[in-house]
Chains A and B, each alone.
Chain A
Amino acid sequence: MKASNATSQDLIIVGNGMVGHHLVEQLIERGAHRHYRIRVFGEERHLAYDRVHLSEYFSGRDADDLALSTADYYAEHGIELHLHEAVTDIDRDARELVTPQGRYAYDRLVLATGSYPFVPPIPGGDRDGCLVYRTLDDLDAIREAARSATTGVVVGGGLLGLEAANALRGLDLDTAVVEFAPRLMPMQVDNEGGELLREKIEALGVQVLTDRATQHIEDGDTSRHRMVFQDDKRLETDLIVFSAGIRPRDELARNAGLEMGERGGVVIDDRCLTSDPAILAVGEVALWQGSIFGLVAPGYQMAKAAADTLCGGELTFEGADMSTKLKLLGVDVGAIGDAHGDRSPGARQFRYVDQIKQEYRKLVVSSDGKKLLGAMLVGDNATYDTLMQYYANGLELPADPASLILPSVEGAPALGPDALPETAWICSCHNVTKGAICEAIDAGCNDLGAVKGATKASTGCGGCAALLKSVVDSELEARGVEVDQSICEHFAHTRQALYSIVRVEGIKTFGELIEKHGHGLGCDICKPAVASILASCFNEPITDAAHVPLQDTNDTFMANMQKNGTYSVVPRIPGGEITPSKLRVLGEVGEKYGLYTKITGGQRVDLFGARLEQLPDIWAELIEAGFETGHAYGKATRTVKSCVGSTWCRYGVQDSVGMAIHLENRYKGLRSPHKLKFAVSGCTRECAEAQSKDVGVIATEHGWNLYVCGNGGMRPRHAELFATDLDDGTLIRYIDRFLMFYVRTADRLQRTSVWRENLEGGLDYLKEVVIDDSLGLGDELERQMQTVIDNYECEWAGALSDPEKLKRFRSFVNDERPDPDIIVTEERGQLRPA
């Protein structure tokens, strides 16, 4: 065939893997599709897909999810796509490509044929059920074979082998990994790291056999195959996957007479040209300075250089860093630069091993200790990004390099994004530097998404996502596009600033605050936030006329609105202790008003389905029986959960119920940036689950241990031990100070856990403020808490005694009939919304 357009040249790309596709993108980016008539040949049925995440094919991602592009994208740019069409020959004399379907003329040709899995020449290695792990079709074959299998073996304990093992686990096979070398991942880790990796992988139920050379494979007794090793040991299995390395797919080049490496691979120069300047090669088929690069990032860099070469540019491939950050079978493994330290004469090492948490970190540094030459991580890659920056940018190490790999302690040096030079690599898949990100921002990208779109950073393996975000945030801030800290459009202040204004100026109403410090009517953000601040400072009844329009509906009606517009009612039951007769009243009220009744997680009783106009009657009966409001509707103290403690329990060492009741009665009615949950356990068995609460108290032989800033819910966080063996008075004093300091400094709707994580200086700082009184605030915080306690009144009791307030509890001002749209049905003997 001849090009239809005489002015355009024919460009053919052989191979549509990740690198082949990246080349297409690079060409389009440079407008090459307007000068070249481009044809792409792929041997597989599928358009280029994400091979890095191939094992996810067995955990929910299908071929479409893994696809890197669409046929439409190719069509839109006039690129002819020949999938499922294997190229059989290159006729260099005629400059034609040969496939079973025909011959295609080329002016320029790019080989992106990649590699194939190496299957060691083992007798029996070609038996049915001996498979490889490389393509989606391979995965389909593995899946098919796994249907009649219960066990599987992966031959090869390197990166791809462990990926394959993960895939077999995903198919519910009992999985084993057989490695020829004495350890797993011999390229990336040393013996010590390899041993830890083995332990971690074995803990996942994967059998690991190292130092095993398979001699032959034969029929098994109990399984389909029997593998026989060098020492005559045997292993029976139903399925075998070879993943013992890759070899370049270089047969086309070899047959065409291009210069080849001794052990395969098409020789290329810095511009990705082969020995025939009409032909280029990229990716795993290409041999550059004697090396094949088996990772996607160098492949992408070759694709970029090749695209530039084809467009007459000067960009060259200058080798690539083989540093990798992986998560294999859920285990973090990272290797940077000269991770083994065997390529750098005079290099010194730092090693950190934690055999309990199973973490291993090693630094290889220059003899003067100033430069990072390499690093090895097993079990935790948290430090990878920082170490990579030191390595890639030749930054001078901190005075004590060991601090970079020691367990994170407060004050460990952090490498902030602003400390990185312009040349710092952020995304190695797409070769994006900090400078490129800054350019994108200067060109008008003013959020993370726009920067990702413009630079492609973090769209490859995604490993740099956190780093990219911190760089973008930092650069945006530096350009004054700072994240607006204003609470909303009506106040140009943070919650903390509004809190200070209210306190310092003694402002007691929202009207006064917005008149002096804001504008407009306010909104559903600032009104409840200010209501909360006013309540924390002065604790006036929220149902007062000045405050009631600020409240969320739950606070307004002192009950929790449910999805059908009815409310639930939760009376306070301090410490979860209740007399039988009071419990009976709850039952009677629930029955009388037809309320769905459920026990809460906080040791209370929740009564659902009350209509607005029923709430006062319900509460009149509850208050008559001695109940108080439970503030389940408020950003306020909720409950203090407790175990039964020393009163009854043979293990208890303190009266946990007594302490819980004392705490609940002390802090009830305290409004705060978010809800507050407490618990008290009577001994170290911790039956009250205090370590999941904002404030947790656990009894000891000598007093109480105090834990703070725990959380259950969406993002669970263990509370941290704050102080030990406290007497009652000190415990209360610390809690007073802690809570008021939180109320004073947290953002709106920020739980203590998130507040603590954002608190500069962390737990140590919090201890200094509360225990050592480093800010001299102790007395003031205690006084403020006392004000809240002194002004406590049961909001429901207050509302019931005020006819003006009760007027609000009408579903309709002109009709006493209930809302006809509230329809209920019966389920398990109770009423629920229909």
Chain B
Amino acid sequence: MTTATAEDLTTSNDWQPLCTRDDLVAHSGIAARIEPRDGPAQVAIFYLPGHAPELYAIDHHDPFSGANVIARGIVGDVAGEPVVASPLYKQHFRLRDGQCIEDEQVKLRTWRVALRNGHVMVQV
């Protein structure tokens, strides 16, 4: 799951604010840096207004090119499942769980993400 209830946010302290709603780009992605316990990471946040869930947090690092570019890919769906296409070599990754459609060995990290009082929060 990538969404959280309000209760989670108040009872847990590993939720980190990244940006405001205004920083999001509808039907597209932005990138942010986070510091989870296992070391620094870059996260791509995708915003699909009107879709459930609306927000997805997935690794910004593209394992096929080695470049940090996933947030700059085109968002779409494959048979109803939201995906992002890497802008370099066009592999598709499921936004829900990071699974690569073309290569079942490859899966991107995902994080829980939520909107709280106009702030985009990620659980690191």
Chain A contact residues, CB within 8 Å of chain B: 489-490, 520-524, 526-528, 545, 548-554, 556-557, 561, 563-565, 807-808, 810-815, 817, 819, 821
Contact = CB atoms under 8 A, between A and B. Distances in A.
B116 interface: no
Interface in B4-56: 18-19, 23, 25-28, 30-33, 42, 45, 48, 51
Contact of A552 (B30, B74, B82): B74
Nearest to B33: A815
Given A521-B51, A812-B42, A527 B32 contact: no
Nearest to A804: B22
Nearest to B89: A563
Interface in B73-108: 73-80, 82-83, 85, 87-88, 90, 92
B25 A565 contact: no
A620 B75 CA distance: 30
Contacts of A561: 69, 72, 87-88
A821 B25 contact: no
A262 B117 CA distance: 102
Given A548-B25, A549-B26, A565-B69, 9 more contacts: A520-B80, A523-B77, A545-B26, A548-B28, A552-B74, A553-B69, A561-B88, A811-B31, A817-B33
Contacts of B87: 552-554, 561
Task: Name the interface size band of chain B.
Answer: 35 or more
Contacts of B18: 813-814
A812 B25 contact: no
Contacts of B31: 811-813
A563 B74 contact: no
Q: Which of B19, B27, B66, B92 has the most CB of A within 10 A?
A: B27
A356 B95 CA distance: 61
A553 B26 contact: no
Q: Which of A551, A557, A565, A807 has the most CB of B within 10 A?
A: A565
Contacts of B27: 521, 549
B2 interface: no
9 contacts: A490-B76, A549-B26, A553-B87, A556-B72, A565-B68, A565-B88, A808-B30, A811-B31, A813-B32
Interface of B: 18-19, 23, 25-28, 30-33, 42, 45, 48, 51, 61, 65-69, 72-80, 82-83, 85, 87-88, 90, 92
A553 B62 CA distance: 14
B21 to A, nearest CB: 11
Contacts of A564: 65-67
Closest 6 CB pairs of A and B: A523-B76, A565-B67, A553-B87, A549-B27, A524-B85, A524-B74
B32 A815 contact: yes
A815 B28 CA distance: 19
A521 B77 contact: yes
A819 B75 CA distance: 22
A527 B88 contact: no
B93 to A, nearest CB: 12
B51 A813 contact: no
B68 A523 contact: no
Contacts of A815: 32-33
A472 B18 CA distance: 56
Given A812-B42, A813-B30, A819-B68, A521 B76 contact: yes
A26 to B, nearest CB: 40
B33 A812 contact: yes
B74 A523 contact: yes
Given A553-B87, A814-B19, A521 B75 contact: yes
A485 to B, nearest CB: 20
Contacts of A522: 76-77
A520 B69 CA distance: 24
Q: Which of B18, B74, B83 has the most CB of A within 10 A?
A: B74
Contacts of B67: 563-565, 821
Contact of A523 (B25, B48, B78): B78
A834 B58 CA distance: 26
B100 to A, nearest CB: 14
Given A807-B23, A812-B42, A524 B73 contact: yes
A821 B41 CA distance: 11
Nearest to A511: B27
A552 B72 CA distance: 8
A550 B19 CA distance: 23
Nearest to A520: B77
B60 to A, nearest CB: 9
Contacts of A523: 74, 76-78, 83, 85
Contacts of A807: 23
Nearest to B20: A813
A523 B75 CA distance: 6
Contacts of A557: 72
Nearest to B18: A814
Contacts of A524: 73-74, 76, 85, 90, 92
Nearest to A510: B27
Contacts of A563: 65, 67, 88
B72 A549 contact: no
Contacts of B78: 489, 523
B8 to A, nearest CB: 21
Nearest to B45: A813
B73 to A, nearest CB: 7
Q: Which of A550, A554, A556 has the most CB of B within 10 A?
A: A556
Contact of B82 (A521, A526, A549, A812): A521
Given A565-B68, A812-B32, A528 B82 contact: no
B74 A549 contact: yes
Contacts of A554: 87
A813 to B, nearest CB: 4
B19 A549 contact: no
Nearest to A807: B23
A690 to B, nearest CB: 33
A526 B26 CA distance: 17
Contacts of B72: 553, 556-557, 561
A563 B69 CA distance: 10
A490 B23 CA distance: 28
Contacts of B88: 561, 563, 565
Contacts of A490: 76-77
B58 to A, nearest CB: 15
A827 B68 CA distance: 23
Nearest to A817: B33
Contacts of B74: 523-524, 527-528, 549-553
